[in-house]
Amino acid sequence: MALKKDSNSLHGEQEKSQNEDASLLELKNLENKKEIESQPLEVSKGNGNENGFLDFGFNQSILNSLRNKGYKNPTPIQKAAIPELMLGRDLLGQAQTGTGKTAAFALPLIQKLADNKELNAKVLVMTPTRELATQVAESFKSYSSESSNFKTVAIYGGTDYRNQISALKRKVDVVVGTPGRIMDHIRQGTFKTKDINCLVLDEADEMLNMGFLEDIEWIIDQLPENKQMVLFSATMPNEIRNIAKKYLNDPAEILIKSIKKETQLISQKFIYIQRHHKLDALKRILEINNEGVIIFVRTKLLTTSIAEALENSGHTVAVLNGDIPQNQRENTVDRLKKGFINILVATDVAARGLDVERIKLVVNYDFPFDKETYTHRIGRTGRAGRSGEAILFVNQREKHFLRNLENSTRTKIEEINIPSNKIINEKRMEKLIENVNESSLAIDENEDNKALIIDVLDNLKEKYSMDDSNIAMAAINLVIGNKSFFVNEDDSWIHKQNNTDRNRSNRNINNRMRNSNRRNNYQNDSFETYKFNFGKFDGVRVANIISSICNSTNINGRSIGKIQIFNDYSLVDLPRDLHRETKNKLKKIKVRN
């Protein structure tokens, strides 16, 4: 098990495959070379009653389960892979999670098992992690839910052997497992492999990264010679090609050449941040978006300390790391899916393959070790055609890793600022107004509550002579509670940092522009920030600043950018390259005398 690979590390990473360029899905088939445009999954759900699965030759039970799941049309990878697998061919597929690759191999294999009932045949699927094993097993179960007497078992480490042994003793059609536990069962004689007539290696590159190559080869040696083989991998490094050459027999090759299509629904951002400000920045980000968030950190210890800190700030948080027993992990994922918890703090290995549709934001609290880790992390959001956001924390030392990451993923990761008090307070205000409005709409839905509310209103009016507006104000006050509603902690470090970072970032962008002659789209590039010596203590408001600037100079109100007012100074974004005369006028500006 020596294969802990670090050749893909972002520390000076080289481009691995020239194939990762165009956004095309290509079926390489000697006599039948097709090119199919890759599409987001949403499109494939369809609107009408069409059923694009009819032509594959699936039996009625499979079609029924697809109808139950609401699948109308196959995804591109399914269109390309299913006919090949139905013919019994081996298959080498390059695809990420989120493309529908599980159904691409599960559906034809369920059909094949149904066709060969009398042979007592079995399918073995190997996955790098227990999370992915459970997920793939769940997919097989749901796609076979209408097929009678069809059994799928998941076997993975971290759980009791006994249940797995008794499940393996009974009739089983599909076994999904992680390499270590599969080996254990084969060695103990609790998993008989003589009837395996199909082997799937799912996320093969991940298994390689985790050092499973020797285990995989040992397992393959225990299986019957004559079997169908399917290998799916998100990337195609040489090691995977070698495995394919060694074990696959004239495979059909399906390549999604770019990770672009799958990640383009995810808006990728980064924040320059000093290490000691990370937790504070995280809390501020969660003020803006705290429903369905995964935070990735490097160590188990950090998962718990961050979760505790967030819990103290009033969030519903759970931890996912290697120390958490398997049943508890499954329970956590389930609670996340149902919305009982909103935030998950996880290590990379523990969160691999996690498929929770409501994840809207991924925070890379610690910089990922390599491009694959980054791609997997951000792929936890933007599931099944939904959009998502990914934020990466970058410190001074990690700056050049960011450039490597942008180059190797061929993505522009956009810089954003840490939310200031002003932004957070605006958001809190907006939420309060929204909540009150939603609550007013909800009154009509519950007749009992409505009667009670009218009763309370009558009482207040009669007993305390309160009018409608008094009552409304008191009710809102009750919602706000005793704690101070607005954040007022010192956030000057954010402004200082944002300004230095913006200058640095502008410099970088200018350098990059010189280098590549590319058009940059940095939003604030046309602005410069000016500092004025008046602030909250002088009673200054945004409107005062705008009117003073417009009245004393020829600057148009609409061309004034962001205005931030602090206790004793204000920062105003104004158009870059102002005339010297205008700048002199700005120096003499007076606000409220």
Residues near ligand AMP (CB under 6 A) are 41, 44-45, 71, 74-75, 78, 97-103, 355, 384
Give, in order, the Cα–Cα distances in Å from 338 to each of 86, 316, 329, 358: 36, 13, 14, 9
User: Distance between CA 408 and CA 372 in Å, rounded?
Assistant: 10
**Bridge partners of residue 184, in order along the sequence:** none
Pick 249 or 387: Cβ nearer ligand AMP: 387
Q: 184 near 216, Cβ under 8 Å?
A: no
Name the minimum Å distance from CB 132 to ligand AMP. 9
Pick 94 or 303: Cβ nearer ligand AMP: 94
Q: Measured at the alpha carbon of residue 209, what is the angle toward residues 204 and 214, in degrees to the nearest 5?
A: 75
Pick 131 or 355: Cβ nearer ligand AMP: 355
**Two structure tokens written together for 237:** 């490094």
Name the minimum Å distance from CB 97 to ligand AMP. 4
Pick 44 or 197: Cβ nearer ligand AMP: 44
Element (H, E) at 403: helix 399-409
User: Distance between CA 44 and CA 146 in Å, rounded?
Assistant: 22
User: Distance between CA 205 and CA 239 in Å, rounded?
Assistant: 8
Pick 98 or 388: Cβ nearer ligand AMP: 98
Burial class (CB in 10 A: 0-12, 13-18, 19+), 181: buried
Name the minimum Å distance from CB 201 to ligand AMP. 15
Name the minimum Å distance from CB 390 to ligand AMP. 18
Torsion of CA 45, 49, 52, 55, to 10 degrees: 160
Pick 78 or 233: Cβ nearer ligand AMP: 78
The amino acid occupying position 440 is S
Name the minimum Å distance from CB 421 to ligand AMP. 39
Instruction: Give the count of beta carbons closer than 10 Å to the beta carbon of residue 357.
Output: 14
DSSP tag of 370: B
Name the minimum Å distance from CB 383 to ligand AMP. 6
Pick 76 or 419: Cβ nearer ligand AMP: 76
List the one residue out of 357, 342, 227, 224 whose CA is nearest residue 293. 342
Name the minimum Å distance from CB 55 to ligand AMP. 14
Burial class (CB in 10 A: 0-12, 13-18, 19+), 552: middle
List the one residue out of 232, 72, 208 whose CA is nearest residue 136. 232
Name the minimum Å distance from CB 42 to ligand AMP. 8
Pick 263 or 497: Cβ nearer ligand AMP: 263
Please give the distance of CA 380 from its chain centroid, rounded to a whole number: 3
Q: Measured at the alpha carbon of residue 115, what is the angle toward residues 109 and 120, in degrees to the nearest 5?
A: 85
Give, in order, the Cα–Cα distances in Å from 274 to each of 294, 399, 496, 509, 562: 21, 12, 12, 21, 23
Name the minimum Å distance from CB 387 to ligand AMP. 15
User: According to the 3-state scheme, what is the secondary structure of 6-19?
Assistant: CCCECCCCCCCCCC
Pick 385 or 561: Cβ nearer ligand AMP: 385
Name the minimum Å distance from CB 551 to ligand AMP. 58
Owner of token pair 């074990």: 247
**Two structure tokens written together for 457:** 């209103």
Pick 98 or 292: Cβ nearer ligand AMP: 98
Pick 234 or 271: Cβ nearer ligand AMP: 234
Name the minimum Å distance from CB 100 to ligand AMP. 3
Pick 152 or 498: Cβ nearer ligand AMP: 152
Name the minimum Å distance from CB 247 to ligand AMP. 23
Q: How would DSSP label each residue in 239-281?
A: HHHHHHHHH-SS-EEEEE--SHHHHTTEEEEEEE--GGGHHHH
Pick 107 or 413: Cβ nearer ligand AMP: 107
Pick 56 or 272: Cβ nearer ligand AMP: 56
Pick 44 or 409: Cβ nearer ligand AMP: 44
Question: Long-range pairs for 56-60 at CB < 8 Å and ≥24 separation?
Answer: 56/82, 56/83, 56/86, 56/107, 56/108, 57/86, 57/111, 58/107, 58/111, 59/111, 59/114, 59/147, 60/146
Find the length of the chain: 593
Name the minimum Å distance from CB 228 to ligand AMP. 19
Name the minimum Å distance from CB 203 to ligand AMP. 10
Instruction: Give the count of beta carbons closer than 10 Å to the beta carbon of residue 465.
Output: 8
Name the minimum Å distance from CB 45 to ligand AMP. 5
The amino acid occupying position 223 is L
Torsion of CA 105, 111, 113, 117, to 10 degrees: 180
